[in-house]
């Protein structure tokens, strides 16, 4: 299976497309055929060895890519073969105090998918069922931007002391709402 990987020394010069091993099974895992990936500043930081948040990617070669969408390859855990899904870019254990309070995006024992784990710029991934969202009627271009761009804005707006997003202008795209001051 082909994948985009970065190797030591990090940097754009070390980025290449190569054959890698197919992903194995995992508990509660769903196999996805990747159809689109989004490139964002986090991927740039991983490729250049400047990983944010003091997290370290798996030893190189490392498959990059934190924003992907794809198609479910088998009926499993309520997902149907052929169904379009968005991969949530957070790795979380569901047991720490932050996860239990609804803040799995800042799990004490987790991190960002594609940083603390191999990412999704590959042909297939196996992802926890808890990290999948149905794409529904969203276009591929919008759906692939949700894991980083939209969820960053969403979590910023949902911080304690801020009004709920519904009080912001609903005609402004969610990505832009993070730069607005909701009063």
| Residue extents of the structural domains in the chain | 2-139
119-141 residue pLDDT tens: 999 999 999 998 999 999 999 99
* CB neighbour list of residue 47: distance below 8 Å, 6 or more residues apart: 6, 10, 11, 12, 14, 15, 64
- The encoded tokens of residue 16 equal 């290449």
Query: 69 in helix, strand or coil?
Result: strand
Q: Given this structure, which CATH class describes domain 2-139? A: alpha beta
pLDDT (tens digit per residue) in 77-135: 999 999 999 999 888 888 999 889 888 888 888 888 888 888 999 999 999 998 999 99
**CA torsion, points 61, 91, 21, 122, in degrees to nearest 10?**
-80
pLDDT of 14 over the 60 cut:
yes
Report the mean per-residue pLDDT for the chain: 82
């Amino acid at each position: 299976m082909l994948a985009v990987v970065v190797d030591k020394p990090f940097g754009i010069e070390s980025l290449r497309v190569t054959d890698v091993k197919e992903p194995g099974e995992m508990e509660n895992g769903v196999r996805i055929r990747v159809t689109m990936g989004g490139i964002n500043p986090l991927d740039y930081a991983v490729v250049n060895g400047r990983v944010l948040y003091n997290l370290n990617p798996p030893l190189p070669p490392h498959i990059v890519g934190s924003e992907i969408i794809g198609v479910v390859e088998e009926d499993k855990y309520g997902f149907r073969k052929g169904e379009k899904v968005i991969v949530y870019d957070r790795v979380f254990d569901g047991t720490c105090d932050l996860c239990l309070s609804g803040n799995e995006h800042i799990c004490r024992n987790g991190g960002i998918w594609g940083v603390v784990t191999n990412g999704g710029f590959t042909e297939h991934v196996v992802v926890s069922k808890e990290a999948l969202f149905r794409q529904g009627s969203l276009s591929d271009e919008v759906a692939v931007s949700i894991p980083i761009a939209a969820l960053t804005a969403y979590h910023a707006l949902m911080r304690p002391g801020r009004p709920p997003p519904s009080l912001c202008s609903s005609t402004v795209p969610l990505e832009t709402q993070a730069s607005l001051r909701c009063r």
